[in-house]
């Protein structure tokens, strides 16, 4: 009986140490992703057809964010309305001072949840301080 309890204790300690190690390693190797990628991906059709020349919608969203605009990029499935939404998401908050992105999004019929996220993007020093700093650098 004692042997079983000792074994369980040793395994518990090993599991706890492994969990702590994994947590620390995950913090060290954590990859920061631009939050605009999720927003762009959310407004794309999600067909993953490859018609844009990328492997799927997520890859296309990453390319749009990396390019910082939509020049030379197009989603033939979503067409111009989709690309207008992508352009709006990628427009720096400073450039949207006269026409807040959320209002634009609502006018264009965005999903309310996406419009809220865009509003957060357009609100200086709001939920995405890293994004604001990045936009100010560009």
Q: Name which position in 34, 35, 37, 51 contacts ligand SF4 (CB under 6 A).
A: 51
Phi-psi label, residue 71: left if phi above 0, alpha if psi -120 to 50, beta otherwise: beta
Question: Is 110 among the residues that bind ligand SF4 (CB under 6 A)?
Answer: no
Burial readout 114-125 (b: 16 or more C-beta within 10 A, e: otherwise): bbebbbbbbeee
Question: Is 56 among the residues that bind ligand SF4 (CB under 6 A)?
Answer: yes
Work out how close the CB of 41 gets to ligand SF4 at its nearest, in angstroms, rounded to a whole number.
9
Q: Name which position in 40, 57, 93, 102 contacts ligand SF4 (CB under 6 A).
A: 57
Nearer to ligand SF4, 86 or 122 (CB): 86
Question: Is 50 among the residues that bind ligand SF4 (CB under 6 A)?
Answer: yes
**Phi, psi (5° rounding) for residue 106?**
-65, -40
Work out how close the CB of 57 gets to ligand SF4 at its nearest, in angstroms, rounded to a whole number.
3
Coil/strand/helix, residue 108: coil
Among all chains, which residue has been given the structure tokens 């395994």?
11
CA distance 130 to 66: 15
Question: Is 65 among the residues that bind ligand SF4 (CB under 6 A)?
Answer: no
Interface residues with ligand SF4 (CB under 6 A)?
A: 44-45, 47-52, 54, 56-57, 60, 75-78
């Amino acid at each position: 009986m004692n042997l079983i309890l000792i074994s369980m204790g040793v395994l518990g300690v090993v599991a706890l140490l492994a969990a702590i190690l994994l947590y620390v390693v995950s913090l060290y190797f954590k990859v920061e992703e631009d939050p605009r990628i999720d927003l762009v991906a959310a407004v794309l059709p999600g067909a993953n057809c490859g018609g844009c020349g990328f492997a799927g919608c997520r890859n296309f969203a990453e390319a749009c964010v990396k390019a910082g605009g939509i020049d030379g990029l197009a989603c033939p499935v979503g067409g111009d309305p989709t690309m207008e939404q992508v352009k709006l998401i990628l427009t720096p908050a400073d450039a949207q001072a006269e026409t807040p992105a959320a209002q634009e999004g609502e006018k264009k019929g965005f999903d309310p949840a996406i419009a809220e996220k865009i509003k957060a993007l357009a609100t200086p020093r709001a939920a995405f301080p890293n994004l604001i700093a990045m936009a100010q650098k560009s």
